[in-house]
Structure 1
Amino acid sequence: MKAGIIGGTGKMGKLFAPVFERAGYEMIVSGRSTAVTNADIAETCDLVIVSVPIRDTVRVIGEIAPLLGKDQVLCDFTSLKVAPVAAMLKSEAQVIGLHPMFGPTLSSIARQTIIMCPARITGTMLSDLRGIFLHEGAVCTIATPEEHYRMMAIVQGLTHFVTICMADSIRRLGIDIGKTGPFMSPVYQIELSLVGRLLSQDPALYADILQENPFVPGVLAACRSAAGELSEIVQGGDPAAFAEFFSRDTRHLGTYCERGLELTDALIECMVKK
């Protein structure tokens, strides 16, 4: 069996190539500086994976789609699923969208989530592909491209929006991050680390996640509404109004509040030990 990763010279490709090699695939990759072309992969590989920037994904899929046959499997690794899956379905290949819910800076996919969006694929091939990830210790979630879009608007869109807003608020206030060090609480350190992690990466990735998902605007509208209401309550100085706002969210999150406390306590303990 042969598998190929288009864009496989990138970090995500380098993370996943050994995963498929350990599963018994002969791996080849293409990239800007490789002799192997995208067409070579499409014409010779049983499993074809597209791992290129989001804005290039549909175009690249369109270029290779006519080269694929019914016995091949076509996948992608992008954060968006509806348009890439639709583009892949124009080929004759079996199709499944994949979204690793983690960055390529990790050394392993163990205990990490991979979203799988089967569109046109046999049960055997789906089971085999899922088995490869499970064998590596990953967690697999099956979803439709539409379900994926809705969840990513929250899991990625809302999270990244709030993180970027925190960074920009610090900039607007003219705060010297270094001077906050002597005043740093564990929670602030965690939040600031998330800001630094995001800003150290490619802005095009986050632009695509926020701008290309049609469900993100609705999520951001809810975020703006929540921020506006909370701002009014804070400026109003009424502790009872704040407690009611706070309690509504506590009730909605339910038992996850305690779980979140436990997880962050464990994280803080690890930070202290280092």
Structure 2
Amino acid sequence: MKAGIIGGTGRMGQLFRPVFERAGYETLVSGRSTALTNVQLAETCDIVVVSVPIRDTVRVIGEIAPVMRDDQLLCDFTSLKVAPVAAMLRSKAQVIGLHPMFGPTVSSIAGQTIVVCPARSTDAALDYLAGIFTREGAVCTLATPEQHDRMMAVVQGLTHFVTICMADTLRRMNTDIRATEAYMSPVYQIELGLVGRLLSQDPALYADILEQNPFVPEVLAACRSAVGDLETIVKTGDPDAFAEFFMQDTRHLGEYCKRGQDLTDALIECMVKK
């Protein structure tokens, strides 16, 4: 049995290569620096995974789709699913979209979430593929490509947008980050850590997540409306209006307010111990 990862010389490909090897596959990789071409890999392997930047995914799938057979399984690791899955469905292969909800810096996939979007596959193929990951301790979440992209507009799009806005606000205010350390609360430290984590990575990834997901504009419109409403309340200095705004969100989050408190308390405790 052979599995192939297109873009497998990258960090995500290198993370998953031993996962497939432990499942019994001879695992091949192709990339810009390999003698093995994408098409050769696609012609050879039983499972083919496309693991390239979002902006290149549909093009690469289009390159290999014509050579794939109905006895093969074609997947991708992209942060978007509607367009890549549609491109994969132009092949004859079985198709399952994948989105690992973590970066390649994790030590293993144990405890991590992988979203699985079956598009054209047998139940046996779906169960088998998911089993490769769950045996490693990963958690698989089933979704349609549209469900995935709508959720990612919030989980990734909103999160990254707000984090980038915080970073840019600090820059616009010419804030001396080192000077803030003497005043640093645990929550500010966590927020600043998220800002630093994001800004230390490839801007092209975040540009693609925000710009190529068709459901992001709707989310950002809601965010812009929320900012405007809250700014108006703050400027009026009305504590009752602020409390009502605040409590609406408290009621919406429900039990997650307590879960969030417990989670951040545990994180802060770990930070203090270090």
- Normalising by structure 2, report the TM-score: 0.99
Deviation at 1:37, TM superposition (A): 1.1
Deviation at 1:171, TM superposition (A): 0.2
Check if 1:143 corresponds to 2:139: no
Q: Which residue of 2 aligns with 1:190?
A: 190
Q: Which residue of 1 aligns with 2:168?
A: 168
Deviation at 1:254, TM superposition (A): 0.4
Q: Could you report, residue by residue, the CA deviation over 1:22-78 in whole angstroms, capped at 9, with x for unpaired residues?
A: 111110101111111111211100000000010000000000001100000000000
Aligned residues: percent identity?
Answer: 77
Q: Could you report, residue by residue, the CA deviation over 1:172-207 in whole angstroms, capped at 9, with x for unpaired residues?
A: 000011110010000000000000111111111111
Q: Could you report, residue by residue, the CA deviation over 1:93-152 in whole angstroms, capped at 9, with x for unpaired residues?
A: 000100001111111111111000000011111001111111111110000001001100
Equivalent position SS for 1:116: strand
Q: Which residue of 2 aligns with 1:225?
A: 225
Determine the C-alpha separation between the residues in 2 that align with 1:200 and 1:65.
34
Aligned residues: 274
Equivalent position SS for 1:49: strand
Deviation at 1:219, TM superposition (A): 0.4
4+ residue segments displaced more than 4 Å: none
Determine the C-alpha separation between the residues in 1 that align with 2:269 and 2:140.
29
Determine the C-alpha separation between the residues in 2 that align with 1:118 and 1:27.
22
Deviation at 1:208, TM superposition (A): 0.7
Amino acid at match of 2:7: G
Determine the C-alpha separation between the residues in 2 that align with 1:256 and 1:85.
33
Deviation at 1:223, TM superposition (A): 0.3
Q: Which residue of 2 aligns with 1:8?
A: 8
| Unaligned ranges ≥5, structure 2 | none
Amino acid at match of 1:196: G
Deviation at 1:273, TM superposition (A): 1.1
Q: Which residue of 2 aligns with 1:84?
A: 84
Q: Which residue of 1 aligns with 2:31?
A: 31
Determine the C-alpha separation between the residues in 1 that align with 2:234 and 2:108.
44
User: Superposed, which structure 2 residues align to 1:197-216 within 5 Å?
Assistant: 197-216=197-216
| Unaligned ranges ≥5, structure 1 | none
User: Superposed, which structure 2 residues align to 1:48-127 within 5 Å?
Assistant: 48-127=48-127
Determine the C-alpha separation between the residues in 2 that align with 1:219 and 1:186.
28
Determine the C-alpha separation between the residues in 2 that align with 1:39 and 1:63.
7
Determine the C-alpha separation between the residues in 2 that align with 1:48 and 1:248.
47
Amino acid at match of 1:176: D
Determine the C-alpha separation between the residues in 2 that align with 1:47 and 1:36.
16
Determine the C-alpha separation between the residues in 1 that align with 2:179 and 2:196.
16
Determine the C-alpha separation between the residues in 1 that align with 2:85 and 2:148.
12
Q: Which residue of 2 aligns with 1:157?
A: 157
Equivalent position SS for 1:104: coil
Equivalent position SS for 1:174: coil
Q: Which residue of 1 aligns with 2:270?
A: 270
Q: CA RMSD in A?
A: 0.6
Determine the C-alpha separation between the residues in 2 that align with 1:257 and 1:169.
26
Determine the C-alpha separation between the residues in 2 that align with 1:180 and 1:164.
18
Deviation at 1:235, TM superposition (A): 1.1
